[in-house]
Amino acid sequence: MPGRPWRARLAALGAGTAILIAACGGAASPSPTQAPTQAPTQAPSATPFEAMSYPTAGEVDCAAGTYNGKPYTGMIKSIKALDAKTVEFTLCGSDPAFLSKVAFSPFAINDTAYLEKAAADGSIVRNPNGTGPYKLKEWVQGDHITLEANPTYWGTAPLVPEVVFKWSTEAAQRLVELQSGNADGIDNPGPTDFATIANDPNLKLYPREGLNVFYVGMNNTYPPFDNEKVRQAVAMGIDRQRIVDNFMPPGSTVASHFTPCAIPNGCVGPEWYSFDVAAAKKLLAEAGFPDGFQTTIHLRDVVRGYLAQPVIVAQDIQAQLKTNLNIEAKIDVQESGTFIDNADAGKLDGIHLLGWGADYPDVTNFLDYHFGAGSSAQFGKKYPDIVAALQEGAKGANDDVRKPAYEQANTLIKQHVPMVPISHAGSATAFKADVEGAHSSPLTSEVFSVMKPGDRSQLVWIQNGEPAGIYCADETDGEALRVCEQITEALYGFEVGGTKAIPVLATACTPNTDLAVWTCTLRDNVTFADGATLDANDVVLSYAVQWDAAHPLHKGRDGSFTYFPSLWGGFLNPPAQ
Amino acid sequence: MTATVGKVPDALADPLAAQKPSSLWRDTLWNILRQRSAVVGLTFLVFLVAVAVFAPVIATYNPNEPMIGVQAGAKVRMPPCIHLLGCPANLPQHLMGLDGNGRDVFSRVVYGARVSLQIGILTVGFAIILGALIGAIAGYFAGKTDNVLMRLMDVVLAFPSLLLAIAIVTVLGQGLINAQLAIGIVAIPVYARVMRASVLSIREQEFVAASRALGESRGGILVRRVVPNALTPLIVQGTLGIAAAIIDVAALSFLGLGAQPPLAEWGSMIGIERNAVFAAPHLIIFPGLAIVVTCLAFNLLGDGVRDALDPRLNR
């Protein structure tokens, strides 16, 4: 790892202070930035390892929910490098989903020196420096991204030396590119093209499990959706089976709960309302809208795994609302980024069509992100009883202990109806038949290093869109995450084509008995693409820059770092709302 | 002055006096009808206008009503099914099939004629009125007024028209009316230039000088003498412009900036189903054909009107 003069100076200062205090007869208390260096687990090097910890100043008071006297809603109490190869995460309570969370690509580990430079000057957004099987060769904005094999990769070398990412929003165009031989693989073929691909001997379809949810959201701060009966009426007045039967790809199912059943505790508690127009009309009349009302259906015309035909589904919901409930809905198609920003800011005054694909297979990824303490304002004011149930559920030591809390949360979600879960949609990837190792991932995290496209030296992959940036701590779009996952790695990752968390940069992360302290041991001989060696301080700083909103390196593409507070409960020094 | 004129013997009557007086419009219509392409265009147009006017009678279904769950055997993106041509009797008959929402494509194409004709005529009407006004003022008053107005028009013309229309719709917001407004604004300079060129030529004519000598006001001369005589090229340009306006609004709707769902508009029908081009090509072909036929009709008619009104081409 390159030299760090400022840290050397701090070390000297710390050592001097310790000597002085020791000379005065007192016990030297460790500096917050430099936890006592324990015996290194690797051969001593010329520069002794100076272990970092975070936070560097003050302490998190989990019981009071404060940090340095300021409100703190997060789950992490501290992160410490115990030695060069050991990191300790201390949490405010049990977290059985810890491994799944640290396996998620936004929590990839960056080199300390690189972060200090690239996050500060903004180059991190376009020039990643990871430990993964590939490194960035070029990014021609608006056209393609080329990755080349990382020659110093610690694991099995990639089977294909180059991967080219291209993008097109049009499913038909992606298919043409695949059929014509310009691409080796494509994401999300159109639902109408599944049969075409399946019947083509030169192509192969890889169906993707519906580990996602498509929902109709309602914001409780705008009338008439501030009335719970209106929201319940909408829930009962939409024929979800009709939507799944006619507009969703094969493999899709009607959502019985917000979270897919494949996720533990995802669908505990009562099933969603059945389609009942008479009951819905009765509720509308009780709410004071016997003749319906006028509203807007907001959406973005962007294909995602959970919704392959946005405008067509919007039109069917529009028709159903009119026919079943006499609700006149106008369709408002917004630009993708604007739509997401408006949804998160709680600016969508009607109903909105949105969805969610699993990032890691835990119920917190679905429920906490949308309805938890750190969730956005897309459904308006938070429902305190749902938040409390989710906080209770997140603390449970295992799935059985957590189950009652999630039953309660799902019951309350059904009662309050912040949204109507429509479906868990199947989707697919498609590859040329000669691509060995081709697969689809239920987490949309396809791994290209295990694929071999015939005798070609390049694998061309066409996805839905271009990443906005590839510093994925500050991205939420799956199009960006997939690129990041080829270049950078986290402590854990997910098995190829599956959802099981497996060690990657860590050889193991082991918990204490109540799952509140997790100790991760790092893999030896891992280097970043720039030649720097992975150590525990890299882990501490990679998390710290996301965790602390006031950290000087808390910088990315737009600085929102959306996933961190959603998954870990909140920022240190959170920005003013 | 009153004069008493005696009856002229038939043998001495002027043969020219016996002819019906010449009328620009009658001559034009006659000239148009003498051209085969114009007749074809006019026939198509009459047919389209009839389709638009009688859409509720011609359309077999409500264009916005999904058939799924209503009609047994109806499936989204069902191909055309005509029983006479061998489509099984247990399948519902839909001449152009069903779209992605299970709506009857034939009914939507028929109602789309209404929308497209309305778009073309209103958009061009708006552009002609404003363009003619600006062109007439610029051409007649000349000098600084001409310079300012025409440089303004040059600025608008400097932008690619569809790109400028997209920018305008982005500012005004999506929707058919805003799309029409945008296309209309973009088209104004064309009509302004045509009108100005005509006015510049007519204002030097002797009958204008005569009006001026008789003391008629400048405004009066412009409105009563110049403008009526400068309309001919504007009519030609307008007829051709309708086709362009229909295509432009269809393009905006294709991009999702014009007609909003569920309105049956040809461009938006193609745009929404663009990804089904291989699996259900009928959803692209029928509205596409409707656009082609309508634009062809206006172009043929426009060419005919131009030829008919151009004295150099008079036969």
Q: Domain locations in chain A?
A: 5-122+488-568, 132-207+427-463, 212-424
Query: Searching chain A, which residue's CA lies closest to the CA of residue B269?
Result: A312
pLDDT at residue A478, rounded to an integer: 86
Considering only the beta carbons, identify the residue of B68, B256, B277 that sits closest to A242: B68
Query: Searching chain A, which residue's CA lies closest to the CA of residue B253?
Result: A333
Report if residue B242 sits inside a domain.
yes
Please tell me the distance in Å from A199's CA to the nearest CA on chain B. Answer: 13
Is B176 part of the contact surface with chain A (CB cutoff 8 Å)? no
- CB–CB contact B76 A247 (8 Å): yes
pTM of the model: 0.78
- Number of Cβ atoms within 10 Å of the Cβ of A178: 24
Please tell me the distance in Å from A413's CA to the nearest CA on chain B. Answer: 30
| A188-201 per-position pLDDT tens digit | 998 888 999 999 99
Which residues, 6+ apart, have CB-to-CB distance to A223 below 8 Å? none
Chain B residues within 8 A of A332 when measuring between CB atoms:
174
Nearest to A175 by CA among A155, A191, A158: A191
Most confident among A67-76, A299-308, A328-337, B106-115 (mean pLDDT):
B106-115
Average pLDDT estimate for A492-513: 94
Is residue A502 scored above 80 in pLDDT? yes
Average pLDDT estimate for A457-461: 97
Considering only the beta carbons, identify the residue of A190, A242, A314 that sits closest to B261: A314
Q: Where are the beta strands (DSSP E) in A202-306?
A: 203-208, 212-218, 253-254, 294-300
Least confident span in A391-400, A445-454, A538-547: A391-400
Please tell me the distance in Å from B258's CA to the nearest CA on chain A. Answer: 11
Please tell me the distance in Å from A228's CA to the nearest CA on chain B. Answer: 28
Sole residue written with tokens 């697969």: A439
Report if residue B140 sits inside a domain.
yes
Q: Which amino acid makes up residue A304? A: R
Report if residue B136 sits inside a domain.
yes
Q: Which amino acid makes up residue B23? A: S
CA distances from A338 to A344, A556, B202 (A): 10, 19, 53
- pLDDT-based confidence at residue A274 (cuts at 50, 70, 90): very high
Chain A residues within 8 A of B274 when measuring between CB atoms:
170, 172
Q: Do B67 and B55 meet the contact criterion of CB atoms below 8 Å apart?
A: no
Q: Do A245 and A477 meet the contact criterion of CB atoms below 8 Å apart?
A: no
- CB–CB contact B100 A312 (8 Å): yes
More confident residue, A398 or A478: A478
Coil, helix or strand at residue A510: strand
Least confident span in A21-25, A215-219, B301-305: A21-25
- Number of Cβ atoms within 10 Å of the Cβ of A204: 17
Chain A residues within 8 A of B68 when measuring between CB atoms:
242, 246
Report if residue B45 sits inside a domain.
yes
Where would I find the H helices in A78-193?
Answer: 98-102, 112-121, 171-180
Dist. CA A541–CA B94, nearest whole Å: 64
What is the secondary structure of A447-481 as a DSSP string? -GGG-EETT-SEEEEEESS--S-S-GGG---HHHH
CA distances from A431 to A186, A187, A188, B182, B309 (A): 6, 9, 11, 43, 61
pLDDT at residue B16, rounded to an integer: 57
Helices (H) and strands (E) in chain B, counts: 13, 0
pLDDT at residue A23, rounded to an integer: 38
Paired sense of beta strands A458-463 and A185-187, if any: parallel
Given a cut of 70, the residues of chain B with pLDDT beneath it are: 1-22, 24, 310-315
Structurally, chain B folds into a number of domains equal to 1
Dist. CA B288–CA B272, nearest whole Å: 13
- CB–CB contact B276 A316 (8 Å): no
Is residue A8 scored above 70 in pLDDT? no
Considering only the beta carbons, identify the residue of A171, A190, A312 that sits closest to B101: A312
Which residues, 6+ apart, have CB-to-CB distance to B12 below 8 Å? none
Segment holding A432, helix H or strand E:
strand A427-432
Is residue A37 scored above 60 in pLDDT? no
Domain that holds residue B140: 35-51+104-310
**Among B101, B178, B254, the residue to mutate for chain A (most A Cβ within 10 A):** B101
pLDDT at residue A337, rounded to an integer: 79
Which residues, 6+ apart, have CB-to-CB distance to A144 below 8 Å? A164, A165, A166
pLDDT at residue A159, rounded to an integer: 97
Considering only the beta carbons, identify the residue of B102, B262, B277 that sits closest to A318: B262
pLDDT at residue A302, rounded to an integer: 83
pLDDT at residue B70, rounded to an integer: 86
Average pLDDT estimate for A292-316: 92
**Which residues lie across from A463 on neighbouring strands?**
A167
Is B62 part of the contact surface with chain A (CB cutoff 8 Å)? no
Please tell me the distance in Å from B287's CA to the nearest CA on chain A. Answer: 17
More confident residue, A238 or A34: A238
Separation of first and last alpha carbons in chain B: 40
pLDDT at residue A453, rounded to an integer: 96
pLDDT at residue B66, rounded to an integer: 93
Chain B residues within 8 A of A170 when measuring between CB atoms:
274-275
ipTM of model: 0.79
Considering only the beta carbons, identify the residue of B102, B174, B274 that sits closest to A172: B274
Percent above pLDDT 70 for chain A: 92
Chain B residues within 8 A of A239 when measuring between CB atoms:
69
Query: Searching chain A, which residue's CA lies closest to the CA of residue B259?
Result: A331
Q: Do A488 and A108 meet the contact criterion of CB atoms below 8 Å apart?
A: yes
Average pLDDT estimate for A105-127: 96
pLDDT at residue B12, rounded to an integer: 56
- Number of Cβ atoms within 10 Å of the Cβ of A471: 26
Please tell me the distance in Å from B96's CA to the nearest CA on chain A. Answer: 18
Dist. CA B172–CA B220, nearest whole Å: 37
Dist. CA B117–CA A495, nearest whole Å: 58
pLDDT at residue A33, rounded to an integer: 35
- Exposed/middle/buried for residue B262 (C-beta within 10 Å: 0-12, 13-18, 19+): buried
Report if residue B112 sits inside a domain.
yes
Sole residue written with tokens 């970043």: A528
Quote the radius of gyration of chain B (alpha carbons, Å). 25
Please tell me the distance in Å from B198's CA to the nearest CA on chain A. Answer: 44
Average pLDDT estimate for A299-326: 93
Percent above pLDDT 90 for chain A: 72
- CB–CB contact B256 A311 (8 Å): yes
Question: Which is it for the CA torsion B138, B139, B141, B145, positive or negative?
Answer: positive
Angle, helices B161-172 vs B227-254, to 10°: value is 70
Please tell me the number of Cα atoms within 13 Å of A236 on its side-chain side: 18
Report if residue B224 sits inside a domain.
yes
| A136-184 per-position pLDDT tens digit | 999 999 999 999 999 999 999 999 999 999 999 888 999 999 999 999 9
- Encoded tokens for A406: 């999630």
Chains A, B: CB pairs < 8 Å: 61
Quote the radius of gyration of chain A (alpha carbons, Å). 25
- CB–CB contact B101 A315 (8 Å): yes
Sole residue written with tokens 């990839």: A108
Q: Do A115 and A542 meet the contact criterion of CB atoms below 8 Å apart?
A: yes
Considering only the beta carbons, identify the residue of A192, A314, A316 that sits closest to B276: A192
- CB–CB contact A319 B272 (8 Å): no
| CATH number, residue B214 | 1.10.3720.10
Is residue A41 scored above 60 in pLDDT? no
Is residue A307 scored above 60 in pLDDT? yes
Nearest to A238 by CA among A267, A280, A210: A280
Sole residue written with tokens 């965790």: A547
Is residue A248 scored above 70 in pLDDT? yes
Dist. CA A312–CA A303, nearest whole Å: 11
Average pLDDT estimate for A531-545: 97
Coil, helix or strand at residue B23: coil
Chain A residues within 8 A of B262 when measuring between CB atoms:
315, 318-319, 331
Considering only the beta carbons, identify the residue of B76, B100, B275 that sits closest to A170: B275
CATH code given to domain A132-207+427-463: 3.40.190.10
Dist. CA A475–CA A558, nearest whole Å: 9
| CATH number of A212-424, picked from 3.10.105.10, 3.40.50.2000, 1.10.10.10, 3.40.50.720 | 3.10.105.10
Is residue A31 scored above 80 in pLDDT? no
Average pLDDT estimate for A124-129: 96
Please check whether the two domains, A132-207+427-463 and A212-424, share a CATH topology. Answer: no
Is B171 part of the contact surface with chain A (CB cutoff 8 Å)? no
Dist. CA B113–CA B134, nearest whole Å: 31
Dist. CA A144–CA A167, nearest whole Å: 7
pLDDT at residue A42, rounded to an integer: 45
Which residues, 6+ apart, have CB-to-CB distance to A206 below 8 Å? A428, A429, A430, A431, A438, A439, A440
- Encoded tokens for A425: 């949609």
Dist. CA A81–CA A344, nearest whole Å: 35
* Whether the bond into A224 is cis, omega within 30 of 0: yes
Report if residue B69 sits inside a domain.
no
Separation of first and last alpha carbons in chain A: 39
Report if residue B22 sits inside a domain.
no
- Encoded tokens for B125: 């009407």
Average pLDDT estimate for A346-355: 95
Chain B (278-297) residues lying within 8 Å, Cβ to Cβ, of chain A: 278-280
Is residue A11 scored above 60 in pLDDT? no
- Number of Cβ atoms within 10 Å of the Cβ of B114: 21
